[in-house]
Amino acid sequence: MTSSPTEHGVRLETHGPIAEVVLDRPPVNAVTVEMYERLVTVFRGLSSRTDVHAVLLRSDVRMFSAGADIKQPVEAVSPSEDAAERRQRMARTAYEAILDCALPTIAVVNGAALGAGAVLAACCDIRYAARDARIGLPEITAGRCGGGSHLMRLLPQGQVRLMYFAGEPVDAAEAHRTGLVQRVAGTEEILAEARELAGRIAAKSPLGLRLAKRALNEAEVLPVRPGYAAEQVYTLRLGAHPDAAEAARAVLEKRAPVWSWPEVPES
């Protein structure tokens, strides 16, 4: 394992082909502007690495994140953008860095994921949650609006509006029932299970994972027919790569595949 020092509440660890982005700003991982900036740097950096093939986003404190640190004083950096607008811009940029990460991402939610914490988890591809987890958008209680648009990618309109207007979180069981999280387990087990899943994913073709992530990101915002056509473009591209033939051979020969990575995909 390699680990970077915690910087602005975020630490990066690598365990072979798996990276773990660790939120580590006690006591509740309240997200500062600097934390958003660090998340941007980390996730953009992971996208360009050829030695990492899956990413966990997890917490090293008692909860995933209690949301944005609204008590943090934020300074404007230009006359055309006040402090509140800067905070909003950095939040958007951080969420986009996670959404656009070239690698499959798994959020491991323990304790509360509220407001900005819920959005950080929602921006990942897959969410695993401990049984004590609670996920919500309580911003209306503090006189703000939340990240409903990110949760509307994952939940029915009525569920999002219930969470948004009432400002009340849902527990892990309800989050699992509605599809917001894909797995619920005990606090001690959930990280191990997420790491096991990341290992299974990281064993796939590295180029295939990156092309699959692009295909899904593009298709998600399109109607079904053009979305499937977009996926087919990536299918043809991967099919022409040596990894496709190696995958087929490995299945027939009942062995682990040997991928031809590193190869930097075209932008």
In the chain, % of residues over pLDDT 70: 94
Q: What mean pLDDT is predicted for residues 122-130?
A: 98
Q: What mean pLDDT is predicted for residues 139-157?
A: 89
Q: How far apart are CA 207 and CA 185, in angstroms?
A: 31
Average pLDDT, the chain: 92
Write the pLDDT tens digit of every residue in 202-238: 999 999 999 999 999 999 999 999 999 999 999 999 9
Least confident of 5-9, 118-122, 262-266: 262-266
Q: What mean pLDDT is predicted for residues 157-162?
A: 95
Confidence (pLDDT) at 85: 81
Phi first, then psi: give them for residue 140, nearest 5 degrees.
-60, -30
Q: Where are the domains of the chain?
A: 2-202, 206-253
Q: Is residue 76 over pLDDT 70?
A: no
Q: Is residue 264 over pLDDT 60?
A: no
pLDDT class for 265, splitting at 50, 70, 90? very low
pTM of the full structure: 0.93
| Partner residues linked to 130 by β-bridges | 185
Please tell me the class of the 2-202 domain.
alpha beta
Q: What mean pLDDT is predicted for residues 97-111?
A: 98
